[in-house]
Structure 1
Amino acid sequence: MKKKLYIFIVIILSFLIFAMYKIFVENKTIVEKDTILAMDTQISWVIYEKPSLYPLDLNAKIKTRINELVKLLSVTDENSEIYKVNHHQERDIKLSEDTKNVVLFALQMAEKTNGALEPTIYPVLREWGFTTGKYQIPDETKIRDLLNYVDYRKVSLKENQIYLPEGMQIDLGAVAKGYIGDEIIKILKANNISSALINLGGNVQLLGTKQNGDLWNIGLKSPNSQDYIGILRLADCAIVTSGNYERYFIGEDNKRYWHILDGKTGKPADKHINSVTIVTKQGKLGDALSTALFVMGVDEAINYWKQNKDENNAFEMILITDDKKIYITENLVDSFTLQDKYKDYHMVVVTL
């Protein structure tokens, strides 16, 4: 009798231990990390989810989608669709749906920003060596000649058919990473993920909050050093920064030349801005505006912000200038903390 009672108690205890373990494991949040090199950028993601809900093939799905888009959008990959558009003898080419969507968005943003975002700048960008690594300062005559092939208004896109005049080439680098980030977010949402952080170089995209409900802490890089000038506390948005400290070279004249070119001059945009950070819902919009507003300069960027407050185009921004001023739109003030060592920077709140 005692033996049967003992066995019964052991079975009950085993069941309770198993049940408690199962409850613990199913409610425990796991951290899933992965990374891939694409478009000269280390793309990484951190996903938080319960083990029982985490799809086993999720990382593979993300990598597959990234590789699909790179094969379409890369300007240097000889097998990409954009490369073929730029080098095909026939200037009238049918695009895939993804490439069409990105080209259309880039052209729309070029129109909205009056060419501050210029997707046909590629011939000039290449001449400076920013796509090849063979940096040089082009002479004025060469720049003037190449600017004859820079004008987004000459690109014709009808449904999936694109036409480029001879000599013109397009570069989607100012929107491609943002589009890729948006596509990763779509995959995560489709797989019921509610908390994730995606890092695409100068682009960060957040899905939801941290797993415990807290806001994410995102460092804003200092234009003049390797540390952070401040911290943004945000959730469920895209944070995109473009700056003159990212890709640049020092010329023989000891001046710094950066990769963000003004489509009207063919030279690095120099409106005394060191960096532009955009906070918005769409990565591709943040990508486009971080470049465009850098080209515009402070006054024009502020006017653009004031004129684009509808739901589809709304964004917030931080502009850091070379005279140690930080222009920050009013809705970001409570989300931003300036690091103590940068207290000599003057904060200017931008209001409507």
Structure 2
Amino acid sequence: MRIMVLNCDSFKINYKKMGAGLLCALLLCGCGTEKQIEDKLTDTKSTTFFAMDTVMDIQITGDEELLSEAEQKVVALEKQLSVTEKDSEVSCINRDKIGRLTGDGAKIFAGGMDICAATDGALDLTIYPVLKEWGFTTGEYKVPNDDEINQLLEAVDYNKVEISNLGNDYIDIVLPDDMEIDLGSITKGYTSQMLHDFFKENGVESALINLGGNVQCLGGKLTGEPWKIAIKSPFPDSKDGIIGVLQAEDLAIVTSGGYERYFEEDGKVYWHILDPTTGKPADKGLASVTIVGKDGLRCDGLSTALFVKGLDEAVEYWKNNDDFDMIIVMSNGDVHITEGIAENFALASEYANANLTVETR
């Protein structure tokens, strides 16, 4: 898992780095009677299940039946879109080079293509054949030679996907020969957003949706505190496994890093985040990128795209877009955080001496 959630106060945070507004929010947990708080806490329901190749944890306040409905929604979406599901809409399109995405699938594809265009292809939904060649989708890892990669790259270009009926409840798609699409880089982000909206529409005031590291908060804790989201350290020698903690309410928090899925060959590490221009693992000196915003799908896509872009281009992209913030951990241990969330973030004690830079517009 890329992101952990702390529901206790045992983790040491340097509150001097947090603003007065946040401190007030933390102090408000004493408001109301103990009986009112206790009644709310007993109304908390949770579930854990496996889907989309990860363990998912969801907790809400409200009707427990909503959790069953949520699980059904996730399973149905996986069946519809999984690139490894033989009869999924995505697999049929990849096989026949023509087909239709419907409902949520159409929305996910359209949102993903928007991110592809906005990031100049740093995210590319047509990278799937290259990922397969590296073995990241099969587990049969290998380092392809340059000729193999270059041949596969000829079919990697989201601009070559033919789209019609965009804006309806479905999208018709035609792919060139040898091209395949994969929505895995954005599906969990969309799913967390979908569940957030579903719970909210059904009267849930507080929820924590953790889809294998894609975290989405609905409100804050019932005690009045914000959620404490622990961002996983990307470094294998970390003692506690946490780079820092972010206080969050009504936000999506998504992290991508080379440590998530990788293999080693001849002493070199190869990770699954590929640069679509080279067909090789993106290597711009970043260890992880965490995107924080209101839209789960956008956060998911940008966490990959900005990892590919590297620090300077990622910061420049953030300066030109005001709908997200980010935490970037460099391979050398330096940390960069954007000003919008700087007061809500604290480094873990293990990394207290890391160089922390606050990026400003």
TM bin, normalised by shorter chain, reads: 0.7 to 0.9
Q: Would the aligned equivalents of 2:327 and 2:338 in 1 still touch at CA under 8 Å? A: yes
Between 226-235 and 173-182, report the one with greater CA deviation: 226-235
Residue 64 of structure 1, aligned match among 64, 72, 90 = 72
TM-score, scaled to structure 2: 0.86
Aligned partner of residue 318 in structure 2, secondary structure:
helix
213, 230, 234: which one aligns with 1:202: 213
1:61-140 superposed matches below 5 A: 61-88=69-96, 91-140=97-146
SS in 2 for 1:337: strand
Q: 2:268 aligns with which of 242, 249, 255?
A: 255
Say which of 325, 329, 334 aligns to 1:316: 325
| C-alpha displacement of 1:97 | 2.1
CA shift, 1:344, in A, is 2.9
1:231 Cα deviation after fit? 0.6
| Partner secondary structure for residue 113 of structure 2 | helix
| One-letter amino acid of the structure 1 residue matched with residue 313 of structure 2 | E
Q: Deviations over 1:154-191 (max 9, x none)?
A: 01121221111111000111100001111111221121
Quick one: distance in 2 between partners of 1:25 and 1:227? 32
| CA distance in 1: counterparts of 2:51 and 2:110, whole angstroms | 22
SS of residue matched to 2:85:
coil
Q: Secondary structure at the match of 2:316?
A: helix
> Which of 292, 296, 305 matches 1:283?
296
The change in CA–CA distance for 1:142 and 1:350 in structure 2 (over 3 A counts) is same
State the match for 2:278 in structure 1: 265
How far apart, in 2, do the equivalents of 1:267 and 1:259 lie?
9
- Quick check: 1:104–1:157 contact (8 Å CA) kept in 2? no
**SS at structure 2 position matched to 1:293:** helix
* Equivalent of residue 317 in structure 2, options 304, 311, 326: 304
Distance 1:68 1:141, change over 3 A: same
The answer to whether the Cα contact below 8 Å between 1:202 and 1:242 also exists between their aligned partners in 2 is: no
Give the secondary structure class of the aligned counterpart of 1:210: coil
**1:334 paired residue number:** 343
2:16 matched residue in structure 1: none
- SS in structure 1 opposite 2:137? coil
Higher relative contact order (CA 8 A, sep 6+): 2
Q: Deviations over 1:274-302 (max 9, x none)?
A: 00000000110110000000000000000
TM-score (norm 1): 0.88
Task: State the shift of 1:32 in Å.
Answer: 0.9
Q: CA deviation at 1:56?
A: 4.2
Matches of 1:280 and 1:35, distance apart in 2: 25
SS at match of 2:327: strand
Contact (CA 8 Å) 2:89, 2:99: kept in 1 or not? no
Partners of 1:100 and 1:223 in 2: CA distance: 33
Deviation at 1:25, TM superposition (A): 8.7
CA distance in 2, matches of 1:230, 1:86: 40
CA distance in 2, matches of 1:36, 1:102: 22
SS of 2:115's equivalent in the other structure is helix
Q: What code does the residue aligned with 2:205 have?
A: S
Q: Count matched residues.
A: 319
Q: CA RMSD in A?
A: 1.6
Question: Equivalent residue for 2:257?
Answer: 243
Mapped partners of 2:244, 2:133: distance in 1: 35
Larger-gyration structure (1/2): 1
Distance in 1, Cα, partners of 2:163 & 2:208: 34
| 1:26 Cα offset (Å) | 6.2
Distance 2:223 2:53 in 1: 33
Secondary structure in 2 matching 1:137: coil
| Counterpart amino acid of residue 57 in structure 1 | E
Task: Please state whether the residue corresponding to 1:77 is helix, strand or coil.
Answer: coil
Whether the 8 Å contact between 1:324 and 1:344 is mirrored in structure 2 is no
